[in-house]
Structure 1
Amino acid sequence: MRWGTPRSWWKVSGLVLVVALTVGADPLHPALVFNLSHTTASRYAAIAQNLLDDRIAQAADIE
């Protein structure tokens, strides 16, 4: 995948993260859709899982 300018890299990274958040902690989907290595897709999945865990913890604190 060609990233182009730094701005397009951020857009693609944001899109990969949105997809990772949508499918949860499964790195297979972003790896296939964006042609990422398993390592990179796993990192995005871990970031997505951490964000989701933080949201759950924040919701629990509010209640």
Structure 2
Amino acid sequence: WINYYTHFYKTEMYAVLRYINNALVKWVRRKYKKRKHRRRAEYWLGCIAKRDRNLFAHWKMGILPTAE
């Protein structure tokens, strides 16, 4: 579905994929107590995304959590 909707609704898909990244950050914050703060969780998830982009389909497209 990602391939289909990115072809026709590219700008809308970016918002949806960013929402998925935010949901992943929320999950990390609940799962790992050391990463309780949003910035730490997002940075950690961004490092994982840079290391292994094949974990999620939208990471392959380049929609990654920020790891500054």
| TM-score computed with the length of structure 2 as normaliser | 0.39
| TM-score computed with the length of structure 1 as normaliser | 0.41
* Larger-gyration structure (1/2): 1
